Amino acid sequence: FTGIPFAKPPIGPLRFKEPQPADPWKEPLQATNDAIMCPQADFANISNYQPLGQEDCLVLHVYSPKVDRAAKLPVMVWIHGGGFQWGAGSVYGPELLLDKDVVLVTINYRLGALGFLSTGDNAIPANLGLKDQALAIKWVHDNIVNFGGNPDLVTIFGESAGGGAVHLNLLSPLNKGRIHRVIAMSGTGYGPWAIAPPKLAKDRTKALAVLCSCPTEPSNELAECMRKVPADVLLEMGKKFNDWIVGDLVFVPTIESETENAFLPKELDKLGFEIPYMTGLTSGEGGIFASIISRGGSRFEKELKENPQYVLSKALLLKSDFPSDKHSSVAEQVRKFYFGDKPIDLDNTSQEVVNMFTDRWFLHGAVESAKKHHGDAYLYLYDHLHSISFNDVFSGGRIMEAFT
């Protein structure tokens, strides 16, 4: 059953508003549309920022081996990754994820600026994309029994930014009693890319408003103006924030003020439920970043060699954990730890580059989230190199030489 609306279309006056439950439909719903995705740039043509998707996109897809209320099968809810900027629930179906009798649900949520702007108040509430996810989880809790699922046995799982999202859903009070197990793969809320400080989130919102010729104050006028900006213009303006090839994810979750509908009302350490939690990563996780650098050509490798402190401070998102006056010294310590006296290049230090990105972007967050979880926590490492690798698509096999 594909293309089931779980929220009202977030368009017009509902753009930049918290999601509202979908109105009931009076005629049978043709649940056969699996092509809906939220507005995003075409990842396959990312340099040209070709827009894809539609704003009326808050749908989910349900795959069940038997539509029987008495079946009470375990339920797995998949939250896709993509840096909070790309992806769709329809990319992943049961043929890829299931070999047991369970009910699978995959969901869409608002991405990029449409999902993660924040004025720091109610004009544009924070974490709209995460609140979309929470509303979808509520829909599953309320309705999945009609598809043969057990609402008391719901596992949420996701990968990369989807892993970060499921970990944040584990921590959110909005999901109390609705999720029972969590699997965060290759991403957690403790990743340096996953959370923006509230002031930074607000500053980025104002900066985007300026690019879109909207006022920055008061916040309600900013929001009203931004509702009129076409989605493709928001996408086009958003790319101006990327100042290095593997730099910041710009529009991401943030901590909110403690209001009734806050998704993350406190720092992460102060949130969470005592339910089973599994997280982990692959041993070559950072290979994708080395591959992207390789694909970017000699200019980026030249920057790495000539100004490693600056590049490392950007690529490793040091501003997430260190004041700006410490970036250079921390980056130099990182360089010495991973590379010693060797120059950084992808021909001779591929493994070191991969290890550095793996540790910073993935391993540290996985370990921290397991340590700080309130219930049982399980940590895994996937270390099998398949003959067919996603990195080959990015780098033509160059980076994979580090693993052979």
Spatial separation of the C-alpha atoms in residues 90 and 35, rounded to whole Å: 7
The two three-digit tokens of residue 271, written as one number: 């949130």
- Which of residues 63 and 395 earns the better pLDDT score? 63
Read off the tokens for 12: 């017009």
pLDDT band at 345 (very low <50, low <70, confident <90, very high): confident
pLDDT tens-digit readout, 61-109: 999 998 888 989 999 999 999 999 999 999 988 887 678 899 999 999 9
> What is the C-alpha separation between 385 and 394, in angstroms, rounded?
16
Report which secondary-structure segment, H or E, holds 129: helix 128-143
pLDDT band at 403 (very low <50, low <70, confident <90, very high): very low
Q: Which of 97, 102, 150, 81 is CA-nearest to residue 362? A: 81
Name the residue with higher pLDDT: 284 or 108: 108
Going from the N-terminus, what domains does the chain have, and what CATH number goes with each? 4-275 (3.40.50.1820), 287-384 (no CATH)
Q: What stretches of 155-269 show up as alpha helix (H) in DSSP? A: 161-171, 198-211, 219-226, 231-238
DSSP letter at 25 equals P
Neighbours of 318 (CB within 10 A): 21
Average pLDDT over residues 114-137: 97
pTM: 0.92
| b/e map 108-123, b = 16+ CB within 10 Å | bbbbbbbbbbbbbbeb
* Two structure tokens written together for 212: 């879109």
In sequence order, the β-bridge partners of residue 4 are 60
